[in-house]
Amino acid sequence: MKRIAVLASGRGTNLEAILEAVESGHIAGEVAVAISDQEKALALQRAENRGVKALFMNPKDYGGREQYDRAIVEQLKEDQVDLVVLAGFMRLLTAYFIQAYPLAIMNIHPSLLPAFPGLDGVEQALNYGVKITGCTVHFVDEGLDTGPVILQEAVPIIQEDTVETLHQRIHASEHRLYPTAIDLFCKEKLKVEGRRCMIID
């Protein structure tokens, strides 16, 4: 069974969706550890509530970004983690971290990449005036939201949408899509060739 680490900085709603999917058998893996860079992150509480190891690792305790990432990677190796899942983790990973887990770090982004990468993907889509946005699960590479796309789901924008209402509907999509992508990884059904990620039987 694949062992998953979830890295989160905030409320942890995607973490909750992942933990629920594991418990209900919709993810053929287990969450071995949840790690946050924020001591008061609700995500850590959500993990603890479900009996999952929850760790606060303070970036201020380390000499810089790479030293911090090295410490996290060391912890992940100790916990024998196969897949790293970013769930609202508000730090950019260094090349060291990404190279330690090639094609084994996932992120979810609130737009249909490559449209509207980076911060405020929901606001960017609204301001641009597109009629459809959504969310994208992708592997993490050394660029910003540029790794191979695993799954995407479209979310229509309605005329009355605000950033908040659109975010809520995208979140609902994320909570369905992320566990599905993680399950495909756990079942070894993802194959990457160049930029293309294919689902194999």
- 8 A C-beta contact, residue 101 and residue 107: no
- Where residue 88 falls (left for φ over 0; alpha for ψ -120 to 50; beta otherwise) is left
The model's pLDDT over 73-97, given as tens digits with 9 standing for 90+, comes to 999 999 999 999 999 999 999 999 9
Instruction: Compute the distance between CA of residue 140 and CA of residue 126 in angstroms, rounded to an integer.
Output: 25
The one catalytic residue among 26, 109, 138, 167: 109
Centre a 10 Å sphere on the Cβ of residue 100 and count the other Cβ atoms it contains. Answer: 19
Is residue 109 annotated as part of the catalytic site, yes or no?
yes
Q: CA–CA distance from 116 to each of 83, 105, 146, 190 (Å)? A: 26, 20, 11, 25
- 8 A C-beta contact, residue 34 and residue 63: no
The model's pLDDT over 96-147, given as tens digits with 9 standing for 90+, comes to 999 999 999 999 999 999 999 999 999 999 999 999 999 999 999 999 999 9
The model's pLDDT over 19-75, given as tens digits with 9 standing for 90+, comes to 999 999 999 999 999 999 999 999 999 999 999 999 999 999 999 999 999 999 999
CATH class of 2-199: alpha beta
User: ω before 114 within 30° of 0 (cis)?
Assistant: yes
The model's pLDDT over 139-194, given as tens digits with 9 standing for 90+, comes to 999 999 999 999 999 999 999 999 999 999 999 999 999 999 999 999 999 999 99
